[in-house]
Structure 1
Amino acid sequence: MTVFARIPALAPFQIRSFRFQWPADLLASWAFEMEGVILGWFVLVSTGSVTALAVFGSLQFLGTLVSPFFGMAGDRIGNRNVLCLMRITYAGVAFCLMLLFLSRLATPVPVFLLAAVMGLVRPSDITLRNLLVGETMPADLLMRAMSVSRMTADSARVVGALSGATLMATLGSGIAYVVICAVYGVSFLLSLNVGVRRLRVLGEQAIPLSPVRALREGFAYVWSTPDVRAATLLAFLMNFAAFPLVNALLAHVAKDIYGLDQTGLGWLIASFAIGALSGSILLSMHGARIRAARTMIACALVWFALNLVFSWIQTPRWGEILLILIGVAQSFCMVPMAVILLRTADPAFRGRVMGVRMLAVYGLPLGLLLSGPLIEHVGFAVTGSLYSVIGIAFTLLIAAHWREHLWYPQAAANQR
């Protein structure tokens, strides 16, 4: 018996494709976080506006509007091929930003334009990752595989945020982007070795020739499948009301509330990521024992409650402790949600379902755009409290309306 088989958390690495996909995803996530710290701080310092920071953060998710088409493209030409094309795009945009910073020509306008290009592509990265895991991983390893896969993003928020802040503070943004370009390049090379098996449950004609028809069928399938619809609506709610407080707005919390520099911002981001990583590790070891839908609902409520408390914290140390707890709740909410969608969706519709699910991420830029003016008028504490109360109320409504599919032990979404 190999070490992968003996240790439950490492069981997914028995699959050769996963042994290449995991480090490729890890490096891409590290580069994402490094860029987020560098560019977010640049925008805040160069414009001095929280609204500009919120707009910049929302640009990172511009591509959620076209994410269903990435899922359909994966069904047609292979998820691995689409993911490789996306990662070449990341490297190209990072190279342009590197040239701007090295030549000292970086201003908010070109940075915003390049961020918009990246924002068209990057939101679908997690969709393609999940689809590749779903089609290459046996069903009995799916929860563990999704938990281990989630670690790539969680650990990146620790390593990427701290390394990005450190590189920027010590060597400057231009040299930091040289490192980012190299990281994207290695991620692309590893992605070329990911498995290419493609599901053909209904045959080659399962995917309609018309992209519009395929998208319409994807929406119809999500709407007619109760547990999938409930999980998708909850995903939108979490992105709209929960993620903004621990996403781009952390730069505002660090600079204007806690009085920290970019290194302090890196530690705030890392605190949230440490909690999320801890949650993913726990799920990778014990996730097969939980009921996914119940865990998702309960931890969504815990997450909003912790956000409510975080909104009123004025000291960095308590803020970091709360961010760790919020990170744990986030993992125990979002990982089971992804497992529900991959496990309960018909494999023939899986790409379209995950593409529609990515549209839920559009709640994040909407939440950010609304939060910027609100913070400038009523402050971060009141804005965070409002978002948290809205989140708790709508989570309870979703749980009550679809209780047969989300709470009953015998429901498909709660099968172990």
Structure 2
Amino acid sequence: MTVAQRVRTHSPFAIRSYRFQWSADLMTSWAFEMETLILGWYIVVQTESVLLVTLFGSLQFLGTLIAPFFGLAGDAFGHRNVMCLMRGAYALLAAVLAALVLTDTLTPFLALLVAGLAGLVRPSDMGTRNVLIGETMPEDRLTSAISLSRITSDLARIGGALAGASIVAVLGMAQAYIMVVLFYVLGMVLTLGVSATRVAEQGIVVPPPLRGLWEAAQAVWQAPPQLAAMLMAFLINLTAYPFTLGLLPYIARDIYGASQAGLGYLVAAVAGGGILASLFVSRMGRAAQPARMMLIFSVVWHGLVVLFGQIDSLAGGLLLLPLIGIAQMLCLLPMSVLLLRGTPPALRGRIMGMRTLAVYGLPIGLLCSGPLIDWLGFPATSAIYGAIGIIATLLVLGTWRSHLWPRHAPGNIG
């Protein structure tokens, strides 16, 4: 067997289900990014309010509190089936917005309302993707599969952001939203090609909802590496993610004085760094030490957030954001691997649903950042968030050092 044949054989893409899932995730992520950029810019232009921009960003994660129930539903009815229903809901809501734009009846209130409805479902999408990968991927390809899957979000962030800005500028918002609907429909259709089984079909009885969630919480509490990963997930959503997600429209327009195209470049810069990091982790495979990487690059990421807040030019932002994208992925990807490894198959859906609860840190961070920016300014706000993130990361390391730092610790065993 040649080297090329061996690589193809051991690649996640050698598995048919993964090829369908990767394509479906790419289409859905592309629609996510286009929709977020189009609506985010619409809100900032129509209202000129940083508070409403942060509210829009927060509404996209409204459903994090019910995310564990999506995990329970996936365990009972099949995660592939739940994913298809979720993506059908995205398409329906995007079609409503497209109709409002075509009839010239869209208002900021209606945009926020639909964003809130979509936000009930969207937070569970990434967790469900990872559960499907865990169900269909051999253990020796798990790290590579998760890393390559994450590339779909970053490719979409580049293509979707630039396409969203360009299409709105050239053809208008209505035509751009019709494309968003088409991408959602394609994502739903391709998801039907994913093969996954229900936990119930494996001879495991799915418990009642509250008992099922309690079992998942107990499993995480008794596993220090998974508990640390959960806390770190909440932390980075609270203190790091707000600056590259909800606040970017405000940063582009009010800090850099850039156009919608400038916003697209900023989004693409973060994603470009993320793609490089994802490819690197994919090449590392089982050699990666998840717990160490998660902690080291959390500190790096928060340090870059502090620096990012001191920059007041588009050129400076475009130079720094790829580095933030690299640090971001080198923290997040090991975190996902840490959560999936050692998780009983019967609990995967529920535990990844609990992981989605950590995303609630993002709307909290966004809603707090708006008043802080008005009061202290953007540079001081970024310094406060970055400092809190670094201190909290070091506290996590100090609390569970024996489980997270030594080379042969449970959190670093490939």
Question: Aligned pairs, how many?
Answer: 414
Moved more, 164-173 or 134-143: 164-173
Q: Who is 1:271 aligned against? A: 269
Q: Does 1:367 align with 2:360?
A: no
User: Shift in Å at residue 77 of structure 1?
Assistant: 0.3
1:288 deviates by: 2.6
Match of 1:254 among 252, 255, 258: 252
User: Partners of 1:65 and 1:197 in 2: how far apart?
Assistant: 25
User: Equivalents in 2 of 1:270, 1:7: separation in Å?
Assistant: 30
Match of 2:385 in 1: 387
Deviation sequence 1:143-190 (CA, Å, 0-9, x none): 000000000111111011110111111111110011111111111110
The farther-off stretch of 370-379 and 212-221 is 212-221
**Structure 2 match to 1:305:** 303
CA contact (8 A) 1:296 1:337 kept: yes
Contact 1:9 1:281 in 2 (8 A): no
How far residue 2 of structure 1 moved from its aligned partner, in angstroms, is 8.9
1:164 alignment partner in structure 2: 164
Distance 2:200 2:329 in 1: 31
Single out whichever of 86-95 and 106-115 deviates more from structure 2. 106-115
Q: Which residue is equivalent to 1:399? A: 397
Cα separation, 1, equivalents of 2:92 and 2:9: 35
For the residues of structure 2 that align with 1:196 and 1:328, how far apart are their CA atoms?
A: 31
Q: 2:8 touches 2:14 (CA, 8 Å); kept in 1?
A: no
Letter in 2 for 1:46: Q
Letter paired with 1:165: A
Secondary structure (helix, strand or coil) at the match of 1:344 reads: coil
- Cα offset for 1:8? 6.9
Percent identity reads 50
Distance 2:13 2:3 in 1: 10
User: Aligned with 1:304: secondary structure?
Assistant: helix
Greater CA deviation, 36-45 or 283-292? 283-292
| Number of the residue aligned with 2:142 | 142
Match of residue 14 from structure 1: 14
Q: Secondary structure at the match of 1:204?
A: coil
Q: Which residue of 1 aligns with 2:87?
A: 87
SS of 2:240's partner is helix
Match of 1:44 in 2: 44
CA distance in 2: counterparts of 1:3 and 1:189, whole angstroms: 34
Q: Aligned-pair distance for 1:9?
A: 11
Q: What one-letter code is carried by the residue in structure 2 that aligns with 1:329?
A: A
2:370 partner amino acid:
G
**2:306 counterpart letter in structure 1:** L
Alpha-carbon distance between aligned partners in 1 of 2:156 and 2:36, rounded to the nearest angstrom: 11
The more displaced of 283-292 and 36-45 is: 283-292
Task: Label 1:5 to 1:349 Cα distance change in 2 as closer, same or farther (>3 A).
Answer: farther
- Cα distance in 2 for partners of 1:271, 1:393 equals 27
CA drift of 1:347 comes to 2.0
Q: Amino acid of the residue matched to residue 193 of structure 2?
A: N
Query: CA separation in 1, counterparts of 2:199 and 2:139?
Result: 14
Q: CA deviation at 1:348?
A: 2.0
Once the 2 structures are TM-superposed, how far is the Cα of residue 293 of structure 1 from its aligned partner?
0.7
CA contact (8 A) 1:9 1:284 kept: no
Question: Contact between 1:5 and 1:11, CA under 8 Å: does it hold in 2?
Answer: no
Residue 322 of structure 1 pairs with residue 313 of structure 2: no
Structure 2 counterpart of 1:245: 243
Q: Distance in 1 between matches of 2:275 and 2:2?
A: 25
- Residues 293, 330 of structure 2: 8 Å contact kept: yes
Q: Mark the CA change 1:408 to 1:9 in structure 2 (over 3 Å): closer, same or farther.
A: farther
SS at match of 2:123: helix
Q: Which one-letter code corresponds to 2:358 in the other structure?
A: A
Q: Distance in 1 between matches of 2:409 and 2:76?
A: 32
The amino acid of 1:140's aligned partner reads: D
Q: CA deviation at 1:411?
A: 1.6
Contact 1:71–1:355 (CA<8 Å) still a contact in 2?
yes
Question: For 1:69 and 1:313, how far apart are their aligned partners in 2?
Answer: 41
1:236-279 Cα shifts (integer Å, max 9, x gaps): 00000000011110111100111101000000000000001110
Aligned to 1:204: 204
Shift of 1:363: 0.2
Whether the 8 Å CA contact 1:201–1:348 is kept in 2: the answer is no
C-alpha displacement of 1:122: 0.6
- Per the alignment, in what secondary structure is the counterpart of residue 85 of structure 1? helix
Q: TM-score, normalised to structure 1's length?
A: 0.97
Cα distance in 1, alignment partners of residues 319 and 2 from structure 2: 38
Structure 1's 135 and 374: CA in aligned 2 closer, same or farther, altered over 3 A? same
Alignment TM-score, normalising by the size of structure 2: 0.97
2:322 match: secondary structure: helix
Could you report, residue by residue, the CA deviation over 1:319-349 in whole angstroms, capped at 9, with x for unpaired residues? 1111000000111100000001001222221
The alpha carbon displacement at 1:202 in A equals: 7.7
Alignment partners' CA distance in 2, 1:44 and 1:6 = 51
Q: 5+ unaligned residues in a row in structure 1: which ranges?
A: none
Aligned pair in 2 of structure 1 residues 230, 320: CA closer, same or farther (>3 Å)?
same
Closer, same or farther: CA 55–339 of 1 in aligned 2, 3 Å: same
Change (3 A) 1:3 1:168: farther
Residues 9, 373 of structure 1: CA spacing in aligned structure 2 closer, same or farther, 3 A cutoff?
A: farther
Q: Alpha carbon RMSD of aligned pairs, Å?
A: 1.6
Are 1:123 and 2:123 matched, yes or no? yes
Q: What letter matches 1:415 in structure 2?
A: I
Structure 2: distance between partners of 1:291 and 1:399:
14
- SS of match in other structure, 2:109: helix
**Kept in 1: contact 2:270–2:324 (CA 8 A):** yes
- In 1: Cα distance, 2:265 partner to 2:330 partner: 22
CA distance in 2, matches of 1:9, 1:128: 25
Contact kept in structure 2, 1:4 and 1:14, CA below 8 Å: no
Residues 183-192 or 194-203, more deviating: 194-203
CA contact (8 A) 2:78 2:199 kept: no
Superposed, 1:65-76 pairs within 5 Å as: 65-76=65-76
Worse-superposed segment, 339-348 or 126-135: 339-348
Take 2:280 and 2:315, find their aligned partners in 1: how far apart are those partners?
Answer: 24
> How big is the shift at 1:103?
1.1
